[in-house]
Structure 1
């Protein structure tokens, strides 16, 4: 006869005990070994088993091995650290490898308010949008509401997402890109899509947006989607339009959960902003921002916070971010370099004046002038590359490259543009002069070295951002000569995304560190996609970007959540002798900085670039004394006035946007208390460190402290444990950090760290199945004298299980577990939780004689059935009622309509039973 099994029940099958989990369907059982972890779950059909699946109980064995105080405390910590299915309202907490800041929980609460979560998270660069989206995803997964998802992002961010999901949230996803899709689809049945076979995916937007893939993806797409860099999916550019068509198709499914991330949602363009909002709800396309009801509805879906809001507001998040110091460093052009730049600009302005009256010819001449001058101002190497390259087929791509626009081809972001001018003797002469300058003393390089020397002496680790590939290689070689003892590397678009990540990772490796500082030279291929805060603390803008948001993106790689340095510096280099530097500063960067100071955010260039081009050309001509202006004067002056007007409009629009959409609806007090309860139940990072330290000592391999880092010599552990750690990628001596942010080359020791979980699981298994680690001696009963109590006190170490029912549109049954320490004196419970943990952790003052220890533990075991039926059962029922209240409080704060009921599974699992007697008794 088939046994009726529900989640939380204990059954015996295949010769061992298991706990039943919510099954995927009605014909199979999902079972996890009582001493196993989440990865040990098996599915079985009771009708196909050779021996029947039977109900079972988890009783304290009559012959349970005795233990001592230190090992009893270790067992208690091991039990707490192995549990992953939390019973509290934040179900995801046990799966996180970090402690989120309170402000990062706000988008999660907003998502819980919505029946179908659709959010636009528009927090500043470096605040943690990835973390905020991941928290929503992990929480909904652990609530049983999400069983598949896709992250859509630009191709250069795919690897970053894979790492963040794995390291922070314990989620293994697969990349879907032009390079991986064919391999993933190989050998799949015809009826099965890639997204059926792989439920967790990170998908390149540029791969999936193609028309031949877009419709198929819309049909197979999971019902939970995260879209990163969402602002790059709206606009008139062909690639952006394809991305928007893709997202619009996905958004048509009213039940699809959609979380969109961007640091620049508005940028003064209300039409583009409205298109973005229409993906949340088509009614938002009306963009009726002055309508109070419209804004109130939108506020439920839109969160936008500046860093200053978090530091100066109620959140008090000063500790989350370093202080940012921004300076400028000007240098003088001298000798041949100054002569060369002046010769090039004279040549270019001559070409412009001869462009004729055709608008296209004039604009092309302007673009060619600006493109060449950018290269000349960058370095002799970039100038030489541009002069050598021809651009007959690149005229359509020239303007977006000049203005550093985010394009589809991210790998071409640092290529030097070719000249659009016809070859003539004067151009060839310039090429020869550029070639000669590549081997001479360079005043710009000398200025960079002068800038870096005091920083290096002060312990800084800088990133030097260059605009062009040739410049980056040129700067790398010069810096290696100037700083011979330092590690100097370069990352450019010549490397694949994997190679870029590997090169940065190599700089963090133990071999390359050796207490040596490092300098990274990079192009803007690295301004997004790879976080650098663990390795670097200074950003030098060697070349000015013409897109203000590029500066923000560069600095955001270093100045972000998790930066260990207290101070981050950014330095902008320019030459007052350079006509192109002066023009860019006047027309673009100074204006953008004024808006940033007024609004707290960086606004991109206005979409219409013709006025920008005119204004830049006018500024350059004025700096050359005006001799080349001729008939162009009037139109260029019009362009200057037009760009001033557009900057002013952008500033006003951004101010309005910030005032309209500031997220002030939630306060820290609504979020923090419930999260703090979870922290107390699960243990702090310090609790995890103490556990690992004590556990490694019990295995005879204590942690070795080396400055701010701890070394765990896992290679010296016993073979069975070493093999388990090897499977999790831990070999040799593992470098561990015990406080966030973790220094480079280390991993933060948390409850989810592979070392913590492997040790906890092994200790728990050793207590329940002593033959697994027979030499460890982790018993389950014990007695000892202690100054922690004044009367005889019995402590029960319990594993509690609950059935959580989510009463919503679709009712769900979940299994939850908690570890509990309960102290009894006589038949009354006198304490529980951390107070009892302190008693258990107080060292014993003596060792009892075997006969006395046996008498005390036998008496406790004899009374155990009465305690389980009486005070312990009452304790568990009361705890279930508290959980109902906790869930109700959080759902009320989130405005959720659903409710949660909690049913305790009785009796609880008694993992340990210990008797504490007063010292000297």
Structure 2
């Protein structure tokens, strides 16, 4: 005898808070998600056999029967101060996403970050409801806090039910820094997939399992994603949001970085790109960056739609009016740069003279067929004799491997060997520049018994190793006081060194680093001294280096020094003085320009380096090579965004608490929710509140521990969170806990994590409290109303299950009335944190009113649905029209492969755009309010 398979229903009309019947049991819906296998319903069991059990069902695989709210039973709330009613409404508010049509900021302003309006403006622009999807390039200059803006945007997306699945792609040396900021400041947990993290998950999940389906929120480096295995995993995953930091590295078509970006862009709803240098001077590269955000914003032949692009970019700098008026003393003005001219030693002068006579200014031809190779040697020498030795030896090896035995090759080898002997002598003698570095660091207080720290940049690994080996003895410090960071280290090693230097109690006093640390690393909390041991031949690189300590949050004057070797060779020495103008130019531009890239008009580090080398080889003055800024379309587009011309419309960003006035704080709500779920939370979960120190703690039960497994693994391990979860219950305590961790010998993770509005423990407590109350029941209370009044919630979702709009409404005497502000309404009926319960309600005659109340509410919601559908259709029509125009223009260019690829991308985007239209509406009765006098019978 065979058993018929259950008949699935592909689109059940449910939302968090709904009650459904699956497999003959009742379940409370705690979340929904649209997937390739139908709607995923996340639930908690209500009936006896499954009570408290967490589960998930796919609508294509199981019959999901929605329990009709018309059959809801009216139950009088007899709890003191209407605790049960307040808990139910509060959990409903917390579990119901903010509307996608809302531009108001709700949760990001309650996180552990400074409240800066210029950052709110960036968030509001990203969430602009007139855009079909959240897409933005955060092009703020170095130091303004792009990471915080990213965290704020992501937290608002989570509050809108559009942030369940998030991928962050960032340079590998800042993986932990980004993970730390997201968790500690925004309560957004991400699994860090560095080399150790990948090894760990291989032990947790099968080798064939896609890790991105197992970990809904992951942070990973672009280097890891380049492996074929991970590229294939990406193609089988859709995301709610993708963040790509340092996105200027994505723009060169044909590279793996660009291929990965093209894979991710059409597979995510929200896309956030971040870069302080968003264009590299090539029109097609900048167009590619815009195309990732919106393929129709760039025509098939590469022309950017300026109006469309402006909606996608936010860009400010240190002295933009909206920034300068806010940063105040939290961003100390940098001091004038200090250029330290150092007379070369005799051995160094011998090297410089040979370079000048043989390679740079020879009256005959250069020994090398590459006439700029002499400047490669000179640049290495200006870093250190050790770097010059390394460069010469590498060149000799390449010539040997090539087998070139020509006369020209013999001549170059002879010249290189002669120079190598001089470089070895200089390397083995006392370095004048090194002695100047030691004197400068000592003068600034770096040494034994001092907490003063400095970061020293150099381009060559040989130079860095030389500094690491020789600085300890010269400064009177132990070897462990000098940290070495360069790109040749593993991702874990890089992260450990950066985090160690940032920890206040670390013994590290000097970080010697290559330019791997010039992007993304925040070093300002414990350091305000920076030394350029050599000069990058790029204004962009100088600005990036300086930005590690010269950024928002720096409360000490940033002091930046540059060491300049000055040989006796007049011409060589003159060229070095010319190079000092790079440092001066960067400082001049720092105060007036969004970034220094526009000065040379090259907008890429390599292009600037090549231009400087060519200038030196041709003997031209630097003022000829670095003229006044010249604007092309891209410069003008970005310059027009400086200060964000749209900010006048966003200057008063709406901030709302979501109407949550039912409890005085997140802590009180959590305490009451635990009381509802466990009866005696102290006995069941060791719940303790220390009001004097603003700290609370509990022992996580099994279901909470399962949720916590997706928190940062280092945090779980180092703070033993599975044994005891400590919470900071005020922002001040949260900040102190963060500061204390930074000054700890053991860990950077705070002992007490701030209880912000998105903390996972609040979501867990909401689910537990709801499950203990919800049985398709509607609570009845007394309030300041004239006749029995139903409070109902109507929601409208799109085809992807995302909430587009919601409305609270009341129904009395058969008529529905929309509520403008749920907080004001609850206060008007007397349901606040200070409410009193005057006595039970007679519910005998109220049950018959539920159905008519829902019918009346559906009529009102239907009108709203039609209005939202028209609004959505109008919004989509504009974008779809542009897409059709793009397709028409591309029709004549389809023979070009790149146009074919982009055409397919536009087709995918069109289909996704159509899914944003309203698809279904749901009405849920939340509460019955009867007059304070009388029994509350039928009206």
TM range (shorter): 0.5 to 0.7
Report the count of equivalent residues.
Answer: 807
| 5+ long unaligned stretches in structure 2 | 1-5, 401-411, 568-572, 598-602, 676-680, 743-747, 880-915, 935-939
Q: Distance in 1 between matches of 2:479 and 2:270?
A: 52
Which of residues 476, 495, 498 is equivalent to 1:501? Answer: 495
Q: Distance in 1 between matches of 2:702 and 2:168?
A: 39
Q: Distance in 2 between matches of 1:907 and 1:765?
A: 17
Matches within 5 A, 1:316-331: 317-318=326-327, 322-331=331-340
Q: Distance in 2 between matches of 1:705 and 1:485?
A: 43
Matches within 5 A, 1:506-905: 506=500, 513=505, 520-532=511-523, 539-560=530-551, 563-566=552-555, 569-575=558-564, 577=566, 579=573, 582-583=576-577, 585-603=579-597, 604=603, 607=607, 609=609, 611-613=611-613, 615-616=615-616, 636-637=618-619, 640-641=620-621, 644-648=623-627, 651-653=630-632, 656-659=636-639, 664=644, 666-667=646-647, 669-670=649-650, 675-677=654-656, 679-681=657-659, 687-688=665-666, 691=669, 699=682, 701-703=688-690, 711-714=695-698, 729=716, 730=721, 731-732=723-724, 734=726, 736=728, 738=731, 743=739, 744=742, 745=748, 746=750, 747-762=753-768, 801-806=793-798, 811-814=799-802, 833=823, 836=826, 856-859=838-841, 865=847, 903=921, 905=923
The residue that corresponds to 2:408 in the other structure is none
Q: Distance in 1 between matches of 2:104 and 2:140?
A: 22
Output one character per residue of 1:259-306: Cα deviation in whole Å (capped at 9) or x when no partner: 6543223455546545655664595576768xxxx5335434444433
Whether 1:908 and 2:914 are equivalent positions in the alignment is no
Q: CA offset at residue 523 of structure 1?
A: 3.2
Kept in 2: contact 1:95–1:752 (CA 8 A): yes
Kept in 2: contact 1:278–1:284 (CA 8 A): no
Q: Distance in 2 between matches of 1:455 and 1:875?
A: 74
The residue that corresponds to 1:357 in the other structure is 365
Kept in 2: contact 1:461–1:535 (CA 8 A): yes
The residue that corresponds to 2:307 in the other structure is 296
TM normalised by structure 2 equals 0.65
Q: Distance in 1 between matches of 2:435 and 2:425?
A: 17
The residue that corresponds to 1:633 in the other structure is none
Q: Distance in 2 between matches of 1:895 and 1:306?
A: 35
Q: Distance in 1 between matches of 2:578 and 2:71?
A: 74
TM normalised by structure 1 equals 0.66
Q: Distance in 1 between matches of 2:174 and 2:104?
A: 24
Q: CA offset at residue 342 of structure 1?
A: 2.9
Q: Distance in 1 between matches of 2:652 and 2:863?
A: 21
| 5+ long unaligned stretches in structure 1 | 377-381, 397-418, 618-635, 770-779, 784-790
3-state SS, counterpart of residue 572 of structure 1:
strand
Output one character per residue of 1:50-75: Cα deviation in whole Å (capped at 9) or x when no partner: x9986577967859673468x66984
The residue that corresponds to 1:264 in the other structure is 277
3-state SS, counterpart of residue 311 of structure 1:
helix
Change (3 A) 1:593 1:44: closer
Whether 1:369 and 2:378 are equivalent positions in the alignment is yes
Change (3 A) 1:176 1:431: closer
Change (3 A) 1:490 1:174: closer
Q: Distance in 2 between matches of 1:488 and 1:701?
A: 43
Q: CA offset at residue 345 of structure 1?
A: 1.8
Q: CA offset at residue 804 of structure 1?
A: 0.9
The residue that corresponds to 1:66 in the other structure is 79
Q: Distance in 2 between matches of 1:272 and 1:908?
A: 53
Kept in 2: contact 1:278–1:285 (CA 8 A): no
Q: Distance in 1 between matches of 2:933 and 2:529?
A: 56
Change (3 A) 1:489 1:766: farther
The residue that corresponds to 1:448 in the other structure is 441
Q: Distance in 2 between matches of 1:670 and 1:726?
A: 39
Q: Distance in 2 between matches of 1:649 and 1:544?
A: 22
Change (3 A) 1:661 1:508: closer
Matches within 5 A, 1:317-466: 317-318=326-327, 322-331=331-340, 333=342, 338-352=345-359, 356-358=364-366, 360=369, 362-376=371-385, 382=386, 386=390, 390-393=394-397, 427-428=420-421, 430-432=423-425, 434-437=427-430, 442-452=435-445, 463-466=455-458
Q: Distance in 1 between matches of 2:820 and 2:377?
A: 82
Which of residues 57, 63, 87 is equivalent to 1:43? Answer: 57
Kept in 1: contact 2:458–2:515 (CA 8 A): yes
Q: CA offset at residue 554 of structure 1?
A: 3.0
Which of residues 89, 102, 111 is equivalent to 2:120? Answer: 102
Output one character per residue of 1:706-748: Cα deviation in whole Å (capped at 9) or x when no partner: 6xxx544445x88987887688533557474715976444344
Q: CA offset at residue 571 of structure 1?
A: 1.7
Change (3 A) 1:821 1:590: same
Q: CA offset at residue 102 of structure 1?
A: 2.3
Please say which of residues 384-393 and 180-189 is displaced more in the overlay: 180-189
Change (3 A) 1:78 1:234: closer
Whether 1:83 and 2:92 are equivalent positions in the alignment is no
Q: CA offset at residue 130 of structure 1?
A: 5.6
Change (3 A) 1:505 1:18: same
